[in-house]
A and B are shown apart, each in its own frame.
Chain A
Amino acid sequence: MDTLLALLHGFTVALEPSKLLFCLIGVFLGTAVGVLPGIGPALTVALLLPVTFKLDPAGSLIMFAGIYYGGMYGGSTTAILLNAPGESASLATALEGSKMAKAGRGGPALATAAIGSFVAGTIATIGLAFLAPWLVEIAVHFGPWDYFGLMILAFVTVSATFGDSPLRGLTSLFIGITLGLIGIDKLTGQARLTFGVPELLNGIEVTTLAVGLFAVGEALYVASQRAHAPEEIIPIKGSLWMTKQDWKRSWAPWLRGTAFGFPIGALPAGGAEVPTFLSYSTERRLCKYPDEFGKGAIEGVAGPEAANNASAAGTLVPLLTLGLPTSATAAIMLAGFQQYGLNPGPLLFAEKPDLVWGLIASLFIANVMLVIINLPLIGLWVKLLAIPQPWLYAGILVFATMGTLAVNGSPVELTMLFGFGYLGYLMRRYDYPVAPMVVGLILGPMAEAQLRRALQISLGDPMILLENPGSATLLGLSFIALVAPFVMKGLDKFKAAED
């Protein structure tokens, strides 16, 4: 009952005209960047952080959440019409979606994606609203050792478990953690790794790293690969609406997709790729028309699209209740909270219920807005793809430098931005994931602080980490998650050798 009351109160906040406006701007921007290939919600929020730091915190955070949800909706458009997924979360959608579009069924594909996203987003947001207070109850009793265990688990799962290569993921993570060491140590005042450069004393700004890696790095990468020409847009033929048959074939995949997306998004493993592919393969197995798969089966669009939206809501559970980001966008949203001096976690629910519940309520509103602006306005979004790429990326770089200049206009900061940009380009080129690096920079210093706090309480006895059931379990899970991919790989090799 308390949850319902809190949520109702949240709606009174979220329905204020100014908040509605922020929400609308967010979903519009989110859809736009979701549609544009190569620009994702993480990059957009990162670009907007410096611009919004003087605006109202609740409004800005509502806008960021709108961008996150919108990106998940918009991504399906390019995946279906261009066979070029706007971000990794819509890779699975592209498989069947583009086939449907080629077969002249682009309309129903877009419709099932949008309505499925709405259904999944709404159910998952209800899940978030009811799960969050419960998790907060548990998190109140967390000691620093538990938080430390949780962060280690997040490190391992974000970088090692779900990437292509655990080695490259961990390398990216540790570059981030190393960057996180730079600056004045908060407990002792000792300057670390600053090499006498005064600009480094305050540490590396998360926004500088994120904008560098995502915006500058992406622009460089796209420019370097320009020779591989983009594909043509497939025009939408026929009706946009789904037939009765389409509805009948879509509803179950939507619900199953939600069931995959929400819990996996909420785990400290996070990410949208895993649930979307799980959903895709499940639908493929369960489909009553298995021969249609590979030629444009509507189930293959409905399931993954629902899964990726549900996972976005799932990601917000650990972010809001524990302050634990499990995806790149969540990591940057955490930076957004921090720029207003807010720390997500149990305390935030107690101290700023207006903000937290307003944000959760606004997610319902964002979902409604998104399904409205996505279906009838689909033609408009497709036109976005006609913006010449040179101007698009030139504009992104202008935005990237603008944000950095507005906050800290020193040439040192700009040089760092571009240095990170070039690093991001090289990492993309050699297939190193960039998200673990951002997570490492944000969570690294937090993990160190929790570890040191834990050891101060235990008077330096490290056994406290293993004596506590919570942290012992979490560290045990981290160890399994770290070792599992290597063991599996070893097993694979063993099998291959036997053949």
Chain B
Amino acid sequence: MANETITRRIDRPALVVAALLLASAGLVANDASQQTIVSTYGLGPTAVPYVVSICLAILGLTHVVVAFKDGIPTPDKADTGAILSIVAGLVGLVACIALGGGFILATALIFACTARGMGRRAFAVDFAIGLVLGLGIFLVFQKLLTLSLPAGPLEHLFF
């Protein structure tokens, strides 16, 4: 009996995927239904979205079935701390660019946070390496590739 309950267990990740797929199907169909421009002949801009929406719905329903049967593969245990550290770096980077902090600072931030997430315990050193790396890339882009990267206070200090 105990064995039965284990195999009968509903696979939660598969259900989440199913819900997301069904939601996207609804979203795509809803967006298509609200479109105003139609072609005079041939396929309009809404035809393919409707087809895609139906396919997403089918995939979603299949995931529901899978959730009650075998489920999707169970992953190994993840190191949540590592993920959090890198995600913090990524969020910090977006904030830094959005608030005008400039490229070099953003680079240092993501470099140090990723290194920390990967197990290094020398945040200040890594931050300094990131600053130098950011400065180097900024110079190469500005002078060699003539592509401009977002500038902040640090960049204005040099140029």
Query: Which residues of A are in contact with B by a Cβ distance under 8 Å?
Result: 51, 54, 165, 167-168, 170-171, 174-175, 177-178, 181, 185, 187-190, 192-193, 216, 219-220, 222-228, 388-391, 393-395, 397-398, 401-402, 405-406, 409, 411, 414-415, 418, 421-422, 425, 429-431, 448, 451-452, 455-456, 459-460
* Bound complex: CA A425 to CA B80 (Å): 12
CB-nearest residue of chain A to B44 = A188
Q: A residues within 8 A CB of B126? A: 390-391, 394
**For the complex of A and B, 8 pairs with smallest distance between CB atoms:** A390-B118, A224-B78, A456-B42, A394-B114, A390-B115, A223-B82, A185-B45, A411-B98
Of the four ranges (under 10, 10 to 19, 20 to 34, 35 or more), the interface on chain B belongs to: 35 or more
Q: Is the CB of A178 within 8 A of B52?
A: yes
Chain B interface, >50% SS class: helix
Query: If the complex has contacts A188-B45, A395-B111, A429-B78, are A405 and B103 also in contact, measured as CB distance less than 8 A?
Result: yes
Apart from A224-B79, A398-B130, A405-B97, 11 more pairs, CB < 8 Å: A174-B55, A181-B28, A185-B45, A192-B35, A192-B49, A227-B79, A394-B114, A397-B90, A398-B134, A402-B103, A448-B48
With both chains docked as a complex, state the minimum distance between the C-beta of A16 and any C-beta of chain B, in angstroms.
21
Query: If the complex has contacts A190-B37, A216-B90, A430-B73, are A414 and B82 also in contact, measured as CB distance less than 8 A?
Result: no
Q: Is B154 an interface residue (CB 8 A)?
A: no
Residue in contact with A219 in the complex, picked from B13, B39, B91, B114, CB distance below 8 Å = B114
Q: Is the CB of A171 within 8 A of B63?
A: yes
Q: Is the CB of A226 within 8 A of B86?
A: no
Chain A interface, >50% SS class: helix
With both chains docked as a complex, state the minimum distance between the C-beta of A490 and any C-beta of chain B, in angstroms.
14
Q: Is the CB of B41 within 8 A of A401?
A: no
Q: Is the CB of A431 within 8 A of B52?
A: no
With both chains docked as a complex, state the minimum distance between the C-beta of A288 and any C-beta of chain B, in angstroms.
39
With both chains docked as a complex, state the minimum distance between the C-beta of B85 and any C-beta of chain A, in angstroms.
8
Query: If the complex has contacts A168-B72, A227-B79, A431-B73, are A222 and B42 also in contact, measured as CB distance less than 8 A?
Result: no
Q: Mark B129-159, 1 if CB is under 8 A from A, else 0.
A: 1100110010001000111111000000000
Q: A residues within 8 A CB of B76? A: 225, 228
Q: Is the CB of A411 within 8 A of B146?
A: no
Query: If the complex has contacts A224-B79, A398-B137, A422-B87, are A390 and B119 also in contact, measured as CB distance less than 8 A?
Result: yes
With both chains docked as a complex, state the minimum distance between the C-beta of B30 and any C-beta of chain A, in angstroms.
10
Q: Is B93 an interface residue (CB 8 A)?
A: yes
Query: If the complex has contacts A171-B21, A174-B56, are A406 and B149 also in contact, measured as CB distance less than 8 A?
Result: yes
Q: Is the CB of A398 within 8 A of B79?
A: no
Q: Is the CB of A451 within 8 A of B86?
A: no
Q: Mark B50-67, 1 if CB is under 8 A from A, else 0.
A: 001001100100110010
Q: Can you report 7 A-B residue pairs in the complex whose CB atoms are below 8 A from each other?
A: A178-B28, A225-B76, A390-B119, A397-B89, A401-B93, A405-B97, A409-B97
Residue in contact with B31 in the complex, picked from A187, A193, A429, A456, CB distance below 8 Å = A193
Q: Is B15 an interface residue (CB 8 A)?
A: no
Q: Is B106 an interface residue (CB 8 A)?
A: yes
Q: B residues within 8 A CB of A228? A: 76
With both chains docked as a complex, state the minimum distance between the C-beta of B77 and any C-beta of chain A, in angstroms.
8
Q: Is B17 an interface residue (CB 8 A)?
A: yes
* Bound complex: CA A432 to CA B83 (Å): 19
Q: Scan residues 83-108 of chain B and give those whose CB is less than 8 A from a CB of chain A.
A: 83, 85-87, 89-91, 93-94, 97-98, 103, 106-107
